[in-house]
Structure 1
């Protein structure tokens, strides 16, 4: 089974966001225009009722105008940044929508449904003992077994080393590397899970894996076609 590059382009037609963008921009411009008119009225009133014996310096007017201009630019910048972030998230989601049905490689764990889970360990080269440690969705350790000092994939069949079958559900996998009774490394192992959905959340693109596992799209390190069971 060959991995697919995560940068592969996929296309899926989605409704354009230009209408919403134009509406937001028009609203912002109208608000700023109204605020500027209010500001000018206040400035005019200030000049009209100033003490003639202590007239305001023209530099004060210039300073107030500059401050308003800075606020105006900041508001427009924030609006534009929000629009750009939304458009980027939508573009990323379009790309990931084409990946639905593929299997994504990540360290987010996997959903056990009775079928073996393929795990890719990456133990420290200096280790003399390597353990696969399995945690359930509550973070409790439910299995621990010795692995070869190798990066070759291994299958976990949902049964503990004592022969106790574990229920279906979400599991996370860690690989501990030891040498001379000292732990050298403890890191999450990589697994493949089917992509079921892609969502845009708070400017990020989140992928929903089998079993409802959520993972940021930037954390996906590989893609492949599902194994052919026939």
Structure 2
């Protein structure tokens, strides 16, 4: 039937967006009308075209168009929701947030992490690595079960003051049989921006991006004397 391939191409999901689908449908509809006009002009008077066939195809074109318009409206709704969410996340600017993760920002000579031991450890150590993966500081970690805060002053073990940037904390804990203990990690830092990349919104802590799904809490910024 006239236009079957065109209809399939516009409705089988091969197109990447409603705008492209709409443009493709318009192109196919023009082709359909051209073919239909040609066939009507050259039809056999003794065996005319079945009008029910192209009427049915016109209905199909209309149905595909309605589907495309519905998708466009849905995309617009999603975009509006995201804009509303981003406006809400702007309220986090300048606030301290706690989030799941192990990488945070060293800023003004301070970086903060929290880690949780489900049980007491026989031994526990920590290591702090820079963005290149180089260990710049290390030491013994608290071995008791529970939540523990680790605040780092940005200095290496040799006393060198390191530049601001992203740093990652690794805590290794072991029981009496030398079996590793799972350590829960969170980071704490000040929100400096809001970014959306490929539909995913993140809060920026300097160079570190934290997905909003990983945010556990928000609190007023802590002073150095409080941390």
Give the structure-2-normalised TM-score: 0.69
TM superposition shift of 1:87: 0.9
Partner Cα distance (1:214, 1:39) in 2: 50
Q: Can you give the 5+ residue segments of structure 1 that lack an aligned partner in the other structure?
A: 1-24
Are 2:115 and 2:186, in contact at CA under 8 Å, matched by a contact in 1?
Answer: yes
Higher alpha-carbon Rg: 2
Structure 2 match to 1:185: 182
**Distance in 1 (alpha carbons) for counterparts of 2:204 and 2:74:** 26
Partner of 2:136: 142
Q: Tell me what 1:152 maps to.
A: 148
- Structure 1 residues 228 and 114: CA distance shift in structure 2, 3 A: closer
- Structure 2's unaligned 5+ residue stretches are 1-17
CA contact (8 A) 1:89 1:200 kept: no
Corresponding residue number in structure 2 for 1:105: 98
Query: Match for 1:216 among 196, 200, 211?
Result: 211
Residue by residue over 1:68-118, the C-alpha shift from the partner in whole angstroms, topping out at 9 and shown as x without a partner, is: 345324422332232122111110111111221101112262222353323
CA distance in 1, matches of 2:47, 2:93: 72
Match runs of 1:55-204 below 5 Å: 60-61=53-54, 64-65=57-58, 67-106=60-99, 107=101, 109-125=103-119, 127-148=121-142, 149=144, 150-160=146-156, 162-168=157-163, 169-179=165-175, 180-185=177-182, 189-204=185-200
**Kept after mapping to 1: 8 A contact 2:116/2:183:** no
Q: Distance in 1 between matches of 2:135 and 2:66?
A: 53
Q: TM-score, normalised by structure 1?
A: 0.69
How many residues are paired up? 203
1:132·1:174 contact (CA, 8 Å) conserved in 2?
A: yes
Pairwise CA distance, 1:218: 1.9
Per-residue CA deviations over 1:4-27 (Å, capped at 9, x if unaligned) read: xxxxxxxxxxxxxxxxxxxxx9xx
Contact 1:86 1:203 in 2 (8 A): no
Quote the RMSD (CA, aligned, Å).
3.6
